[in-house]
Amino acid sequence: MSAGIASAETITIATVNNGDMIRMQGLTSAFNEAHPDITVEWVTLEENVLRQNVTTDISTGGGAYDVMTIGTYEVPIWGNNGWLVSLNDGMADDWDAADLLPAISGGLTVDGELYAAPFYGESSMVMYRMDLMEKAGLEMPDAPTWTFIREAAAAMTDRDNEINGICARGKAGWGENMAFLTAMSNSFGARWFDADWKAQFDSEAWANTLNFYLGMMNESGPNGAANNGFNENLTLFQQGKCGMWIDATVAASFVTGADSTVADKVGFALAPDNGLGPRGNWLWAWSLAIPTSSEKQDAAKAFVSWATSKAYTELVAGNEGWANVPPGTRTSLYENEEYLAAAPFAAMTLQSINSADPINPTVDPVPYTGVQFVAIPEFAGIANQVGQQFSSALAGQQTAEQALAAAQELTVEEMEAAGY
């Protein structure tokens, strides 16, 4: 039996319907073999729904879940609130916390306490069709500018053959279109708030960001882009319908995998910049955390130890190949010659993760941390509303100016109500 577990227990795990998480569920039998005293029940949800459900459960002490899949935004806030169990002790002996990438573990730590174990870490980068880039007579730089990306997108677009030069998130949500646009805005010199917590959507930098995004997407993006998030754009790219896709580095194994019709034609580059310092890339980890409301914390730690271990990585490699292991969490992975040989995107992924700076994410000073989010409890609610405005503009239902004016008004109102 697992250490500290007196009798058979069932733990409930809430997770997101991303490919790596679906793969983890498929390997649950390996966990069961090592821990026959623990039964695992899965609750798998779409990203926006998952966030809503786990936030409601943990903030009310509901206790519906023993393990939650949460992100770099929630961990420091919830850990500070005393809602999460510290993972500084009670993990498996060979779990090796010292092996975690500092850029990733740092975002999951509060006052020296690690409150979540990273399942996979990511930044964002450009994934592009090398054949279409060559056909357009262009060559992708390792570190492209936004101007190059827009020009290349227009050159690669072929509406008659259903090829869109650029695919990017348009679906409303603080972790969907606002993750993309907030990271993008950093490279345009924009910020959510100035040093006095005054909203900045009425700034020239935000106008430049949104107008550029809408112009590029209208010229070269897919129809119905306002409905497309990570999974929708992944499908389009795998089907050969995107010249470029700027999104999570974790997608690299999927666009070069068995389900991709263009697997042998994909190249990688850093997220674009404008020469101002920050690139338009984010920093994130989908992590496994244990709420203090769980009554089965030892069993939960046994599962979290297993799912985020080096041994799990080797299990995935044995079943699916090294290119498909969860990336971006451990130093040892990027020293593994088998992985580096199998994953042509490994070096660009690590460079992207290390280039993101959550402490100084913007050109001008800000009072917050976070690259594609603002690490305050109010952000998720505000950014969901702002995301609706920007998605509406992408759908042609209002202008960029109207969307920014609405974003400014609602952000000011919400922040004043919150006492900033």
Domain boundary among 321, 349, 377: 349
Same domain, 332 and 211: no
Same domain, 146 and 254: yes
Whether 3 is covered by a domain: the verdict is no
Same domain, 38 and 79: yes
Domain boundary among 325, 349, 373: 349
The stretches of 239-345 forming alpha helices (DSSP H) are: 252-255, 297-307, 310-320, 337-342
Residue 20: phi and psi, rounded to 5, are -65, -35
Question: How wide is the angle at C-alpha 96 spanned by C-alphas 92 and 98, nearest 5°?
Answer: 145
Cβ–Cβ < 8 Å for 5, 299: yes
For residues 326-351, average pLDDT: 96
Among the listed ranges 172-176, 238-242, 356-360, 373-377, which one has the minimum average pLDDT value? Answer: 356-360
Which residues, 6 or more positions from 316, have their beta carbon under 8 angstroms from its beta carbon? 23, 27, 324, 325, 326
Whether 356 is covered by a domain: the verdict is no
Whether 208 is covered by a domain: the verdict is yes
Query: The domain spanning residue 221 has which CATH number?
Result: 3.40.190.10
For residues 206-215, average pLDDT: 98
pLDDT at residue 6 in the model: 52
Which tens digits make up the pLDDT trace of 58-105? 999 999 999 999 999 999 999 999 999 999 999 999 999 999 999 899
pLDDT at residue 47 in the model: 87
Cβ–Cβ < 8 Å for 231, 311: no
Domain of residue 197, residue span: 123-282+364-418
pLDDT at residue 48 in the model: 84
Among the listed ranges 2-11, 146-155, 373-382, which one has the minimum average pLDDT value? Answer: 2-11
Question: Residue 46: is it exposed, middle or buried by C-beta count within 10 angstroms (0-12/13-18/19+)?
Answer: middle
Same domain, 54 and 139: no
Same domain, 164 and 80: no
Q: Mean pLDDT, the chain, as a whole number?
A: 96
Same domain, 159 and 71: no
For residues 168-188, average pLDDT: 97
Is residue 296 scored above 90 in pLDDT? yes
Is residue 1 scored above 50 in pLDDT? no
Whether 355 is covered by a domain: the verdict is no
pLDDT at residue 18 in the model: 87
Which residues, 6 or more positions from 104, have their beta carbon under 8 angstroms from its beta carbon? 118, 121, 283, 285, 328, 329, 353
Q: How many domains does the chain have?
A: 2
Is residue 246 scored above 80 in pLDDT? yes
For residues 24-42, average pLDDT: 96
Same domain, 53 and 15: yes
pLDDT grade, residue 5 (50/70/90)? low
Global confidence as pTM: 0.89
For residues 342-355, average pLDDT: 95
Domain boundary among 291, 317, 349: 349
